[in-house]
Amino acid sequence: MSRALAYFLLDPLHQVLLLALAGLVLLGLRRKRAGFRCLTLAGLWFFIVAVSPVPTWLISGLERTFPPLAPQGYAAGLPAKAHILVLGGGYTYSRSLPPNNQLSPASLGRLVEGVRLHRLIPDSKLVCSGASRISGYSQARMFSETAAFLGVRPEDTLMVTTPRYTEEEARDYLERFGNSHPLILVTDAVHMPRAVFWFRQYGMDPIPSPTNHRFKPDADRTEFPFRPAPGKMALMDLVLHEYAGLLYGYWKTRGQ
């Protein structure tokens, strides 16, 4: 319940609506000054998260923390016999659909990056991560079956079927495979700083391979425009989620 509440409160749209609702309630209670302040804050926050370039600027900062790995498709400098760990990014179980169509866009993008690296690195293993949330059919298994459709041999695929969150993915991978293999970590670029933080907390030093970049430099003539766009709220939601996760990680591990 605490995680669900945190997700709700971190959503910029919910924040705007709550501020506006608070303002209307205060106006109804004849507390005009406080009510107008809340409405002003709601409007200002809406402008920041839906019109200004702040969400794009913040997400670009997170995504630039680690550069893409082997972007030109050359394996020079990459460790042989590496474990390529693909972190879970969500899925929906449906018997009527093939596994690739059950993965979320984030998960599918992560898996494609893992398969790309697997084909570049001799004798590497593709490690699929993710627990079962509802169906009893784990995300790791969904990854593995989709990888087989993409040409990865079953004997080159390993699974970690127990973790639900990023910290658990680090802990459970270490418990199963130890720290003896070169490790390449695949997740969304915006999520990579938090993922690397947790893996380092458990004594590992993974090679980051970020993917699913939301900010694409030089794609637009103006990289940080002032214009209303619904997608900016989604970017800010990701940014707030990642920074909150990092703050929680620092708080949880302080003094260790």
pLDDT in tens, 208-247: 999 999 988 776 556 678 888 889 999 999 999 999 999 9
Q: Are residues 207 and 242 in the same domain?
A: no
Q: Are residues 205 and 79 in the same domain?
A: yes
CB 97 within 8 A of CB 114: no
Q: Which helix (H) or strand (E) holds 187?
A: strand 183-188
Confidence tier at 79 by pLDDT (50, 70, 90):
very high
Domain that holds residue 123: 69-211
**From edge to edge, which strands make up the β-sheet containing 183-188?**
157-160, 125-129, 83-86, 183-188, 207-211
What are the pLDDT digits (tens) for 191-204?
A: 999 999 999 999 99
The pLDDT assigned to 74 comes to 86
**CATH code of the domain containing 173:** 3.40.50.620
Q: Is residue 21 part of a domain?
A: yes
Q: Alpha-carbon distance 69 to 88, whole Å? A: 19
Q: Judge whether residue 89 has pLDDT over 80.
A: yes
Of 116, 32, 111, which Cα lies nearest the Cα of 78?
116
245 and 130 in one domain? no
51 & 86 share domain: no
What's residue 225's pLDDT?
80
Q: Are residues 151 and 50 in the same domain?
A: no
- The reply to whether 241 and 174 lie within a common domain is no
50, 121: one domain = no
Determine the pLDDT at residue 75.
Answer: 82
Lowest-confidence region among 12-16, 172-176, 229-233 = 229-233
Contacts 24+ apart (CB under 8 A), 168-175: 168/131, 169/85, 169/87, 169/88, 169/129, 169/130, 169/195, 169/198, 170/195, 170/198, 170/199, 170/201, 170/202, 170/204, 171/202, 172/129, 173/85, 173/127, 173/129, 173/204, 174/202, 174/203, 174/204
Q: pLDDT above 70 covers what percent of the chain?
A: 96
Q: Please give the backbone phi and psi of residue 84, each rounded to the nearest 5 degrees, phi first.
A: -105, 105
